[in-house]
Structure 1
């Protein structure tokens, strides 16, 4: 399938007007500094729609409209047109955003109904698993023979979390539709979490993936989620969320495989889950429209730092769900305030860092995109029929996204191959048909195709 994509053009898009009035140098917050320099990839797929002007005959006009609206949007999101210098300063707003146009000689529906992580890379502007994130945003629009399109984005996690990038995507979409009203974000996260003098350029650089890690997509449909919920609530846990259920499931089986590989090892296992601070800081709304990495990692630890010789030494599933929930709740208004004025959060991270570097602790990390309205990003061609990520750049990272029909969760998991094979086996054992969500989505999409 890779031979079917042909690059047509590559240009640099700059803000449409000068960013006068903005600071020449924009300091990153220490929360930004803690993030390694890598790209987070995502791809929006849109079906051809003649009534909305998305056809095989107007690609030139559509591409020009995208470029102009991107240029206009960058005036409000000017740091994305800059670059990072010395780890804590974003400079040169006119460095620009690279925009790539391509053609794919395949049908869009064939692509999304046979998802393969490696194949998806060709719809991104670059391979997110190689190289440092020099440009802060890179874009690729791919036109399919059927008239549909794929819009691939790679954004530098050094300057933006998923809340920030979705704010940008929605603003760009609104501008492309001819609207002028959208949520305005403020680039002052450093005033809440001032930059620190960290040794080295990447505090968490050891998290970066390598060739031994592979990304695979797993679907937890309604029935699987219901089965997991029943198992978790059997231990008197009330109302576990879908994100808690799936994260704990992956964490549990990651630990089981690690124990099976080395039964004599004495290790602790941790789960790190990204927690958005915007809704947790008092007074309400204080951080709501702050651009940047306005997040912290909730840290959960498993009581397994003793020599174990059997699988059932891993904690019960419900207990792991409970620990994840507690790690989220721990990041309270008081905790955030102490992280602003002191070193509470940094001290927690250092407690994790030392045993990892010594080989005494293994970890999984999680990020949930489930609460974001990713299926409402409309550039004037209607809503996307699918959003996905692809090859992930961090070791043992899982990204959770709502499935196409909304009832289930897609888990994009980046681990070593044997972990993925074991996880796939365990997911199949969850009581479920395993087909409901995908079949329902397939029928819905085919229905739209014939309408």
Structure 2
């Protein structure tokens, strides 16, 4: 098979490993665990035949080849019941359920594209730990893969997502060589050496309803859950940073925007694999805005994200597609040069209806976890996940911040009035 070209956005995305851990209670007394594990491995192999670039290696930030490399696969026993583990309500141990440490700056082109760890609890429950190399996969691509794996496991080939493996590179043309300033900026956006801490916060329906009331305005009369929760976290994380520095400084919220449904023809990128997202960067300059009002942050975020429309995305297609990226780089370089101190950058991504609907015939997951402690070089980041409780309008946020910022956030009474310290997952598992 021919090498698979990376698309432009793959080239701009570093090799680092997000993780997702999906917990299934397996409440079936007739389940044959040994047969289940054999079938999981067999159907995984079948799925990799469809998504064959995931078995390869990255070469020169241009393409994927060597498809015989394969995907690391482990099975691990967990010496406790799933219900006991979930009641701990902590995040650090999530890293034990995956094969590769999350969000570490990787430099080796031989790193795998994907790694799977199947964790079996003493009660028979299973947690699927997935590490994905961001160089080739975004969250949407991983969801295609997992849904296809589940479909083949359950003998439902009609539910398999037929991946469009090469289409992204034909739309968003790769560069033979990225400009050095572009490479440097992307590295700066993704990685900053510090001591990071990840905590899980829970926003129940009452908190979200109140935040929606506080976040609405004439321009955004009906803000979404994602709007208010992300801006609320951004507001308080920024205030924590300002408290540490002793003065306000520029703050940037970088939202990962899925480009697929925003194209002029939403079906043009249907089932396309690759990093088909880009960053909507919302900038608050304290020289222009002294107060961080939630409604203003929501309005500003909606304004910037709405610019990711069909016309803007079409401007990135074809031979001239790098020009908007170059403009983006120039804008951020200019912004970063406005202040003697580096700006605070907070990245946001939303896993709404992504991994909580992957069904291997065991029912929907009882919980979806993001990650524990990240590597020493990463960044401030927030992952929003639909809560697996009785009310699917509730949200869990995995918040990664520098340790001093997190300490202030966890003592911020105005923040904690809305953000609980982890959702108490159903104890009847």
Q: 1:285 to 1:234 in 2, by over 3 A?
A: closer
Residue 84 (structure 1) shift: 0.5
CA distance in 1, matches of 2:218, 2:408: 25
Which residue of the partner structure matches residue 191 of structure 1?
Answer: 170
CA RMSD of aligned residues (A): 2.4
Instruction: Write the distance in 1 (CA, Å) between the matches of 2:416 and 2:99.
Output: 37
- How far off its partner does 1:60 sit? 2.8
Distance 1:239 1:205, change over 3 A: same
2:291 and 2:419 mapped to 1: Cα distance? Answer: 27
**2:363 maps to 1:382:** yes
C-alpha separation in 1, matches of 2:413 and 2:261: 32
Shift in Å, 1:268: 2.2
Structure 1 residues 284-335: Cα deviation after superposition (integer angstroms, max 9, x where no partner): 30012111111111111113146xxxxx923311010111111110111111
* Residue 253 of structure 2: aligned partner: 271
Residues 52 and 87 of structure 1: CA distance in aligned 2, closer, same or farther (over 3 Å): farther
Give the distance between the partners of 1:220 and 1:120, measured in 2 at CA.
20
Among candidates 373, 381, 385, match of residue 397 of structure 1: 381
Q: What is the distance in 2 between the residues matched to 1:329 and 1:141?
A: 40
Unpaired segments of 5 or more residues in structure 2?
Answer: none
Give the match's secondary structure for 1:75.
Answer: helix
Distance 2:114 2:419 in 1: 40
Structure 1 contact 129–209 (Cα < 8 Å) conserved: no
Deviates most, 245-254 or 196-205: 196-205
Q: Could you tell which deviates more after superposition, 269-278 or 249-258?
A: 249-258
Contact 1:33 1:195 in 2 (8 A): yes
What is the rounded CA distance, in whole Å, between the counterparts of 2:139 and 2:250 in structure 1? 29
CA gap of 1:292–1:214, structure 2 versus 1, over 3 A, is same
Question: How far did 1:259 drift?
Answer: 2.2
Post-superposition Cα deviations, 1:179-237, rounded to whole Å, max 9, x if no partner, equal 21212110121111111221466762232254511111111111111111111126663
| Distance (whole Å) between structure 1 residues aligned to residue 99 and residue 201 of structure 2 | 24
SS in 2 for 1:375: coil
Partner of 1:216: 199
CA contact (8 A) 2:71 2:116 kept: yes
Output the CA distance in 1 between the equivalents of 2:401 and 2:30: 41
Residue in 2 that maps onto 1:114: 88
Q: How many residues align?
A: 410
Who is 1:126 aligned against? 100
In 2, the alpha carbon distance for the partners of 1:433 and 1:338 equals 39
2:156 corresponding residue in structure 1:
179
Match of 2:306 among 291, 304, 329: 329
Distance 1:432 1:159 in 2: 36
The answer to whether the 8 A contact 1:252-1:314 is kept is no
Quick check: 1:85 aligned with 2:59?
A: yes
**Pairwise CA distance, 1:149:** 1.2
Inter-partner Cα distance in structure 2 for 1:159 and 1:433: 34
Q: CA deviation at 1:282?
A: 1.4
Q: 1:53-72, CA deviations, whole angstroms, 9 ceiling, x for partnerless residues?
A: 1xxxx433222111110110
Of 325, 335, 352, 1:345 maps to 325
- 3-state SS of paired residue (1:279): helix
TM-score, length of structure 1 as denominator length: 0.85
Q: 1:432–1:291: structure 2 CA closer, same or farther, 3 Å change rule?
A: closer
Change beyond 3 A, Cα 1:353–1:35: farther
Aligned counterparts of 2:269 and 2:139: Cα–Cα separation in 1: 15
**Structure-2 separation of matches of 1:116 and 1:43:** 13
Secondary structure of the corresponding residue to residue 13 of structure 2:
coil
- The answer (yes or no) to whether the contact 2:17–2:100 under 8 Å persists in 1 is no
Is the counterpart of residue 422 in structure 1 residue 408 in structure 2?
Answer: yes
- Aligned partner of 1:301 in structure 2 is 283
Q: CA deviation at 1:364?
A: 0.9
In 2 relative to 1, CA 209–66 (structure 1 residues): closer, same or farther, beyond 3 Å? farther
Structure 2 equivalent of residue 19 of structure 1: none
1:363 to 342, 345, 362: 345
Query: SS at the partner of 2:356?
Result: helix
Contact 1:36 1:203 (8 Å CA) reproduced: no
Distance 1:92 1:314 in 2: 53
2:260 alignment partner, SS class: coil
Match of 1:158 in 2: 135
1:18-42 C-alpha deviation (Å, 9 max, x unpaired): xxxx4x2111011111111101100
- 1:251–1:64: structure 2 CA closer, same or farther, 3 Å change rule? same
Q: Deviations over 1:254-290 (max 9, x none)?
A: 221222233456x322111011111111123001211
Mapped to 1, the partners of 2:70 and 2:104 lie a distance apart of: 21
